[in-house]
Amino acid sequence: MRVVSLLPSATEILHAIGGIDFLVGRSHECDHPRSIDHLPVLTAQRTRFTSSGDVHRQVSALASQGQAASLYQLDADSLRHLAPDVILTQDLCEVCSIDLKAVERIAADISPRPTIISLNPTTFDDVLDDHLRVGQALALERQAGDAVIRLRGRMARAEEFVNPYTEPPVVGFMEWTDPVFIAGHWTVQLIERAGGAHPLNPTVPIPGSGAAVGPQQASRHAGKSIAVAPEVFTATRPEWLVIA
């Protein structure tokens, strides 16, 4: 089995389920575990990283011209040469990594055509399901199941420290600093399940799930990351600040 990962989280999933030896190519952002450093890098970013604000302006300019897909480049010749059986990528964020359509166009020229697995988790359970999906594609179902059990165990142990009778501390989670983008999707779910509050983009019940709280957090989700004014962010008076 030959695998190319174009997404750092997918590479870490591959490692978690014991399939890292299948990896034959990676993205420029895939840097864990260090044992993959020697593998071919198939992507590169077109923006020059000078400051958060400058990168945001470059990305916004390209997106306004309908060119968000051109933020990254994919080495098509190297990808064809590697002839992967499976390609791991994403389609959740068009400015975060190479876009799915570009991967599909190149994969169509590879024979036999590789299986493309797009990972787009919006909840914690989606993240766990992605482990199982990758495991199934690589005939590593048992190992993937074991990884999911370990992750659920870690979550359960963390939740044991949560006091439901005290006011939760406010967590300020920045995914970008200029402008300020705050956490979304499953990141907010993790904050709340760990006992914190994320007031600017909190989770809401999934339609049909009722007013789920506490252990029923799996029935809640948050929207995507959003931009907020700095004064709005500081007005929440966060006790904990996380910059990712």
Average pLDDT over residues 143-165: 94
pLDDT at 231 over 70: yes
pLDDT of residue 213: 52
Distance CA 48, CA 44 (A): 11
SS3 117: strand
Count the neighbouring beta carbons within 10 Å of the beta carbon of residue 178. Answer: 14
Query: What letter would DSSP give residue 137?
Result: H
What is the rounded CA–CA span in Å between residue 159 and residue 192? Answer: 10
- Kindly report the average pLDDT of the chain as a whole number: 90
What pLDDT is stored for residue 99 in this prediction?
84
220 by DSSP, 3-state: which?
Answer: strand
- Neighbouring C-beta atoms of residue 84, cutoff 10 Å: 23
Contacts of 118 (CB under 8 A, 6+ apart): 89, 90, 91, 100
CB 119 within 8 A of CB 7: yes
Rounded distance, CA 224 to CA 236, Å?
A: 19
Domain ranges of the chain: 3-153, 171-243
Per-residue pLDDT tens over the stretch 23-82 = 999 999 999 999 999 999 999 987 777 788 988 888 888 777 766 556 788 999 999 999
CATH fold of the domain at 3-153: Rossmann fold (3.40.50)
Instruction: Say whether pLDDT at 217 is over 80.
Output: no
Averaged pLDDT, 80-87: 97
Looking at residues 77-89, what average pLDDT do you find? 97
pLDDT, residue 214, reads 52
User: In one letter, which amino acid is 135?
Assistant: G
More confident residue, 213 or 152: 152
- CA trace torsion 83, 85, 90, 96 (10° rounding): -30
What percentage of residues in the chain have a pLDDT greater than 70?
92
Report the pLDDT value the prediction gives residue 215, as an integer from 0 to 100: 45
Cα separation, 137 vs 84, in Å, equals 13
DSSP state letters, 147-176: HHHHHHHHHHHHHTT--TTSPPPBEEEEEE
Q: Specify the pairing of strand 171-177 against strand 240-243.
A: parallel
C-beta separation of 137 from 124 below 8 A = no
**Residue-level pLDDT at 29:** 94
Least confident of 67-76, 166-175, 215-224: 215-224
Average pLDDT of the segment spanning 169-181: 96
